[in-house]
Amino acid sequence: MTGGIVVGVDGSQQSGNALEWAVARARLGGEQLELVNAYSLAPDLDFYGYHGLAASQPVDWYIEFSQQVLDAAAARVHELAPDLVCTLTSKMGHPAHLLAVASETADAVVVGRRGLGSAASALLGSVSNRLTTQARCPLVVVGEGELPTTGPIVVGVDESEFGTNALRYAIVEATVRETTVRAVAAFEVLHHAFRADPELVARMRADVAAEAADSITRALAEVQGPGSATASVEHVAVEDRAADAILGHSDDAQLIVVGTHGKGLVRRVLLGSVSRQVLNDADRPVAVVDLPDS
């Protein structure tokens, strides 16, 4: 990896958590950091007699505020890792757009789950939400609370190429962190009409569970090869909804990895329902991985 790690910084607590996660990751892998802050001019509001105060601020005020936020972030980076190379980027524009552009040459983009001005809810903020489909490299979304530094990398695997690429990324992360991978394949067995026949249910459950386990084996065979990263991979096939299965096996994880879509892919412009639920409900960092550019 040589493209560095891009971090979206806006002065919010969750962007501070994203920064600290990125510093720890960069120290492990030797990447450089690029801290990005986007600013925009407030509109000239005249709404039923209300005139926006922010609109009266000169352009220099926004530029100075942006630079002060970045300087504070850079000071924190230096405090945590004095030898880490860190560049600062302050530009006018929407943060999701600027981070998406930066992602074209980055190894990863790291953002907080919500930033300044976002509603305090379980939903993704506008920036992290947009980047799940716009980022051209893995996107790591960091929420509130402590940042675990031990435990496995948990990854959702299905029979899609998105799940396979997520597994590839998880193995690389596990190698850098000197930990293991827990690959989770979920399956749901039966229509209610079959439940009157317990013997049939048992046979079908065993067959579907074996197929789910085999999907991990096949994905591993695809991502492993000469020169590829290696890590110990635990195979977990569980009867549950996919998102619930991933979250249910992530209590001790330091990172959860999901593909942008799975077998249920409908449109590439939308984030898959499993990935979205994991992002919304996880209490630890989540990496969202798309397909590599061809």
| Both tokens assigned to 188 | 């749901």
Give CA 287 to chain center in angstroms: 3
Assess whether 158 and 276 both reside in one domain: yes
Domain range for 118? 5-142
* Domain end point (choices 86, 116, 142): 142
Could you give the CA distance from residue 104 to residue 262 in angstroms, rounded to a whole number? 23
> Are 91 and 191 found together in one domain?
no
Q: How far apart are CA 119 and CA 127, in angstroms?
A: 12
Do 158 and 134 belong to one domain? no
Inter-helix orientation angle 13-29/161-177, to 10°: 70
Q: What is the reported pLDDT for 23?
A: 98
Q: Does residue 55 lie within any of the structural domains? A: yes
Is residue 165 a part of any domain in this protein?
yes
Please report the pLDDT score of residue 226 as a whole number.
81
Can you tell me the distance from the alpha carbon of 267 to that of 159, in angstroms, rounded to the nearest whole number? Answer: 17
280 in any annotated domain = yes
Please check whether residues 14 and 137 belong to one and the same domain.
Answer: yes
Shared domain for 226 and 269, answered yes or no, is: yes
Instruction: Show the low-confidence residues of the chain (pLDDT under 50).
Output: 1, 47, 118-123, 265-269
pLDDT value of residue 264: 53
Q: Say if 147 falls within a structural domain.
A: no
In this prediction, residue 273 carries a pLDDT of 84
Number of domains in the chain: 2
Calculate the dihedral angle through the C-alpha atoms of 26, 132, 135, 97, rounding to the nearest 10 degrees: -110
Q: For residues 167 and 133, state if they share a domain.
A: no
Does one domain contain both 169 and 249?
Answer: yes
pTM score: 0.87
Considering 142, 173, 193, which residue would you say is the last residue of a domain?
142
Q: What pLDDT was estimated at residue 195?
A: 62
Q: Per the structure block, which two tokens stand in for 72?
A: 């504070």
**pLDDT score of 211:** 87
Q: Are residues 123 and 186 in the same domain?
A: no
Query: At which of 142, 171, 186 does a domain end?
Result: 142
195 & 268 share domain = yes
For 11, the enclosing helix (H) or strand (E) is: none
Q: Are residues 189 and 103 in the same domain?
A: no
Is residue 89 located within the same domain as residue 132?
Answer: yes
What CATH number corresponds to the domain at position 168? 3.40.50.620
Q: Which residues contact 232 (CB under 8 A, 6 or more apart)?
A: 174, 180, 181
